[in-house]
Structure 1
Amino acid sequence: MTVIDANRMHEIEARYPEYFHRSFRQRFGGLMIVIATLLYGLYAVWFFDLPKLFAEAHWERVGIYLSQWVSYDVQPEFRIQDDGTIEVRYPRFSPLGDNPHPDWVVDNPDGSISVAVSGTGRAVTVSKSETIVTAHGVSVHVDVSSGAPKVVGPVPAWMTVYDDNALADLGFAGDVSISVDRVKIRKRFIGWANFVFDTQSSFFDKPASEVIGLIVSGPRIKPDQSNLSLAFDDIWNNSEWQHGDIWTKLFQTIVMAFLGTLLGALAAFPLAFMAARNITPNRLLNQVLKRFFDFLRSVDMLIWALFLTRAFGPGPLAGSGAIFLTETGTLGKLYSEGLENIDNKPREGIQSTGAQTVLVHRYGIMPQIVPVIVSQTLYQWESNVRGATIIGAVGAGGIGLKLWEAMRTNANWENVAYMVILILIVVFLFDAASNALRHRLMGSGTH
């Protein structure tokens, strides 16, 4: 065992003071950061009153909205006539078309109508005197022969009885509303109804094999138009899903992002050279341009879009202008900071040869700054594809406005899901393209 005497110990302490004479910050800095983070978290919980928010939140709506993203419903209504007959009606724009006859609605010999709400034993039988709802292994009889619906026997937890109607919640399968003269049923299906052809199309409700046969070799449905052209028109002009309008708005969003980023980069590039202290030795000009960049960046893209929609009206021009102004500030700051951090030796070497200023910039500065310009511009371009969606919601055009209109109705959540998926695909593709361009232009990446 090695024994260190006092002199040797003092020598080691003098040689490595950072280990033996640590300051309070060095000893307890990490612990103080943890404590400060915990205190800030407790303050945020109190400031935003998170326990109350979580307690009063409508968590049940999450499941409702998610189910509507991936499903659709059909709402038949059964009206009990004075003579005891039952008339079946469907909404005007039913997913089943103008004259539906679904196989899950069956006329019984005794005049009643049976409806299979789901394949898990949930069913409804409507007659002139009562409605029978079967769910969760029990059948509940609701008497509708008197002035108000009356449940015969105990009322189950999944049924609520009001003064003039009874409501049965069948979960994801749908629900049933029962009154004395009518029964409304909401039956839910997984999938997106009429995504390819709407109810007005000549190809509606035809099997895929029959549609393909008509397109390839079938007789013309319209004498003046081929079946292939007709099918494309029907898909593009689908009134329920509006593929043509959505894809046009999506293309507008992409153009807005590209044009705004391109114009912002073109404007920021020369301004950055004047804002960089080591390139333009004019302190007043440097500060004025840097504060100008700060101003353009401090006003959010959404606010610029609101200003420009008032000036030019709603449309993609306002969106492109908002991106242009924001990117001029952002890219100008990034470019100027990149210029200020270059190595001056190559530049000084070229200057010593008596080369013109343009050549000094071209060969002494540009090789160093190009990777920064390429990387930051491509990243902002990719980010602006997402940003263009947001500003579209305030009237700047593109798919953002279409998305906001679908959400505002609170009834077209499957259309919202469709547009969100398209946006995700576009962002993913632009992210991949941006990475590939960066690697190719900057000579980096894995091979």
Structure 2
Amino acid sequence: MHSLTAAELEAVAARHPHLLTPPFWSRFRVPVIATATILYLMFCWWFFAIGHVLGSASWNIAGNYLADWISYEERPDITIHKDGTMQIEFSRFDPIGPNPNPDWITARREVVTRTITAPAAAAPSSTQPKSSFSFMAPSASGTAAAGSAAQTETRTEEVVTHAVVRMNASDTIEIGPPAVTVTRNGQPLSISIGTDGVTPRGSLPSWATQRAPGEKVVVSFGFSGWAEIRDDAVRVHKRYLGWEGFFFDIDSPFFGKSFGEVMRLIWSGDRLDPSRSNLSLAIDNILYNPSWQHLDVWTKLLQTIVMAFVGTLFASLIAFPLSFVAARNITRNRPVNQVTKRFFDFQRSVDMFIWALFFTRAFGPGPLAGISAIFFTDTGTLGKLYAEALENIDDKQREGVKSVGASPLAVQRFGVLPQVLPVFASQALYFWESNTRSATIIGAVGAGGIGLKLWEAMRTNSDWENVAYMVVLILIVVFIFDTISNALRSRLIGKRHH
């Protein structure tokens, strides 16, 4: 082949310049695409106010939420009375049970004598027997009698006058009304409390926040916890790593015992409950643990699995025959094809979440609404996929079966199904695995399953460890189902090539 010389190339370029000049798009497509991408990202940054959102976000609160997933808290309330005395109270449902004297609270206690004024009891009405009692408003004479005199009572009791809460080795909260001193990483913050509200002395550090003057001050100690300082109380949230009471709650006789102690009680210890064995009692305490509700959570998780399986199964069974009607090369009737395909479009055009709302309204809350939403949505999607698979089959196999005089049903059975059945089964398995996740979401709107349980735990805004527990269970189930589905799909698609 003769190659052109430089002189010949220049002559060609002179006669036909457009042949050697690349088109505009070839020359400038890279800078055009890069510029368009940058402009689009800038528009998104402005339109969604991303900078403002990032700047005003409460990252400390987000960190606390994440820490709550893997921890539990002790929550003492230190109530401050008007006379400067205090009272330390632990909630009945504290994760480790009522514990008025933990080693991380140092309290100075004194015995004081108080005179308490209480309203006088109303005098009984002359028109009523003395033994009668009414919750209704007292009569005028009774009110006058009550207002004419008041009762005083003298009490001698032990109160707390000063308290120090140790959040960790270096951070403390010292409560000595009318002031609270918070120390974090060697940096002190003094806060005055009283009738004028909560007033920090000086500027607030980054680990303390106050929405408005006089309102409560929230101080954060990182993973160690946080506290609210109010004008009449200090509410402490001291955090510990782990899920306390996961197996046995504070009312269980096994609470606080090591694994070895529990096993010894089960196999050789005296009966803790005369009516049942220790093994039966331990199983009952675990399943009906009021803090973690294991049996209810597992039951709801099983509901979610059943919802996904039954909904996908019914959708596959209905989509299978309808796809033959929708396929143009199987049913050669264009109006029938179009009507069936538009029906599929109607079903899948509305999201499963919306169908769940509709069926929840129709059938009431429960798994039936979830199954119906999955079935209705997936019938349209699987029907469309099945029909497209049928329209792309190799007609040679079908023509071969026809040539031997087979009936139309036999043609579909031996000429079409062997080509598409592995694809149908593979797609159904994929949707089954995917619907396991979807069933969790639609459960949050009342369709039953663990999704509703998860939403209830999130709404409390305090049981984040329970949320983490259910999320872990969902992840395990999805992982198992994904592995099974992938293995089955690989075998089905593999058989297709043999």
Asked if Structure 1 and Structure 2 have the same fold, meaning a TM-score greater than 0.5 normalized by the shorter chain, the answer is yes
Task: Name whichever of 135-144 and 37-46 sits farther off.
Answer: 135-144
Residue in 1 that maps onto 2:311: 260
1:44 is aligned with what amino acid? C
Taking a change above 3 Å as real, the CA distance of residues 133 and 318 of structure 1, as seen in their structure-2 partners, is: same
Taking a change above 3 Å as real, the CA distance of residues 347 and 151 of structure 1, as seen in their structure-2 partners, is: closer
Q: CA RMSD in A?
A: 3.4
Taking a change above 3 Å as real, the CA distance of residues 369 and 153 of structure 1, as seen in their structure-2 partners, is: closer
User: How far, CA to CA, are the matches of 1:56 and 1:124 in structure 2?
Assistant: 28
Taking a change above 3 Å as real, the CA distance of residues 182 and 292 of structure 1, as seen in their structure-2 partners, is: closer
Deviation at 1:78, TM superposition (A): 2.9
User: How far, CA to CA, are the matches of 1:140 and 1:59 in structure 2?
Assistant: 21
1:306 aligns with 2:357: yes
1:355 aligns with 2:435: no
Residue in 2 that maps onto 1:118: 167
1:332 is aligned with what amino acid? G
Task: Name whichever of 85-94 and 356-365 sits farther off.
Answer: 85-94
The secondary structure found in structure 2 opposite 1:411 is coil
User: How far, CA to CA, are the matches of 1:271 and 1:180 in structure 2?
Assistant: 69
The secondary structure found in structure 1 opposite 2:275 is coil
1:315 aligns with 2:315: no
Residue in 2 that maps onto 1:16: none
Residue in 1 that maps onto 2:265: 214
The secondary structure found in structure 2 opposite 1:443 is helix
Residue in 2 that maps onto 1:78: 78
Alpha-carbon contact 1:178-1:184 (below 8 Å) kept: yes
Q: Summarize deviations over 1:187-242 as a string: whole Å, max 9, x none.
A: 12122221111122121122222112111221111112111111111111111111
Taking a change above 3 Å as real, the CA distance of residues 95 and 30 of structure 1, as seen in their structure-2 partners, is: same
1:386 is aligned with what amino acid? R
User: How far, CA to CA, are the matches of 1:26 and 1:163 in structure 2?
Assistant: 66
Taking a change above 3 Å as real, the CA distance of residues 278 and 7 of structure 1, as seen in their structure-2 partners, is: farther
The correspondence of residues 238-257 of structure 1 with structure 2, limited to 5 A, is 238-257=289-308
Task: Name whichever of 114-123 and 189-198 sits farther off.
Answer: 114-123
Alpha-carbon contact 1:117-1:187 (below 8 Å) kept: no
| Aligned pair partner of 1:185 in 230, 236, 254 | 236
In structure 1, runs of 5+ residues without a counterpart are 14-18
1:65 aligns with 2:114: no
- Rg: which structure is higher? 2
Residue in 1 that maps onto 2:90: 90
User: How far, CA to CA, are the matches of 1:50 and 1:367 in structure 2?
Assistant: 53
Residue in 1 that maps onto 2:248: 197
Residue in 1 that maps onto 2:125: none
| Aligned pair partner of 1:295 in 332, 346, 352 | 346
Deviation at 1:41, TM superposition (A): 3.1
Q: Summarize deviations over 1:105-142 as a string: whole Å, max 9, x none.
A: 34558876655533331123445776554332255666
Deviation at 1:381, TM superposition (A): 0.8
Taking a change above 3 Å as real, the CA distance of residues 331 and 23 of structure 1, as seen in their structure-2 partners, is: farther
User: How far, CA to CA, are the matches of 2:21 and 2:217 in structure 1?
Assistant: 79
1:104 aligns with 2:99: no
Task: Name whichever of 65-74 and 154-163 sits farther off.
Answer: 154-163
Deviation at 1:79, TM superposition (A): 3.9
2:455 is aligned with what amino acid? W
Taking a change above 3 Å as real, the CA distance of residues 156 and 325 of structure 1, as seen in their structure-2 partners, is: closer
Q: How many matched pairs?
A: 437
1:384 is aligned with what amino acid? N
Alpha-carbon contact 1:148-1:179 (below 8 Å) kept: no
Deviation at 1:358, TM superposition (A): 2.2
The secondary structure found in structure 2 opposite 1:186 is strand
Deviation at 1:155, TM superposition (A): 6.3
Taking a change above 3 Å as real, the CA distance of residues 236 and 347 of structure 1, as seen in their structure-2 partners, is: same
1:87 is aligned with what amino acid? Q
Alpha-carbon contact 1:301-1:323 (below 8 Å) kept: yes
Residue in 1 that maps onto 2:184: 135
Taking a change above 3 Å as real, the CA distance of residues 26 and 199 of structure 1, as seen in their structure-2 partners, is: same
| Aligned pair partner of 1:273 in 324, 331, 355 | 324
Alpha-carbon contact 1:95-1:199 (below 8 Å) kept: yes
Seq. identity, %: 52
Alpha-carbon contact 2:167-2:221 (below 8 Å) kept: no
Task: Name whichever of 196-205 and 180-189 sits farther off.
Answer: 180-189
Larger proportion of strand: 2
User: How far, CA to CA, are the matches of 1:38 and 1:419 in structure 2?
Assistant: 41
The secondary structure found in structure 1 opposite 2:409 is helix
User: How far, CA to CA, are the matches of 2:161 and 2:256 in structure 1?
Assistant: 28
Alpha-carbon contact 1:261-1:381 (below 8 Å) kept: yes
2:92 is aligned with what amino acid? R
Alpha-carbon contact 1:375-1:438 (below 8 Å) kept: yes
2:416 is aligned with what amino acid? I
The secondary structure found in structure 1 opposite 2:458 is helix
Alpha-carbon contact 1:74-1:95 (below 8 Å) kept: yes
User: How far, CA to CA, are the matches of 1:139 and 1:5 in structure 2?
Assistant: 85
Taking a change above 3 Å as real, the CA distance of residues 88 and 354 of structure 1, as seen in their structure-2 partners, is: same
Deviation at 1:6, TM superposition (A): 8.8
User: How far, CA to CA, are the matches of 2:402 and 2:225 in structure 1?
Assistant: 78
Task: Name whichever of 171-180 and 408-417 sits farther off.
Answer: 171-180
Alpha-carbon contact 1:148-1:164 (below 8 Å) kept: no
Residue in 1 that maps onto 2:381: 330
The secondary structure found in structure 1 opposite 2:98 is coil
Taking a change above 3 Å as real, the CA distance of residues 193 and 277 of structure 1, as seen in their structure-2 partners, is: same
TM-score in terms of structure 1 length: 0.86
1:420 aligns with 2:471: yes
Deviation at 1:430, TM superposition (A): 0.8
1:61 is aligned with what amino acid? I
Deviation at 1:383, TM superposition (A): 0.8
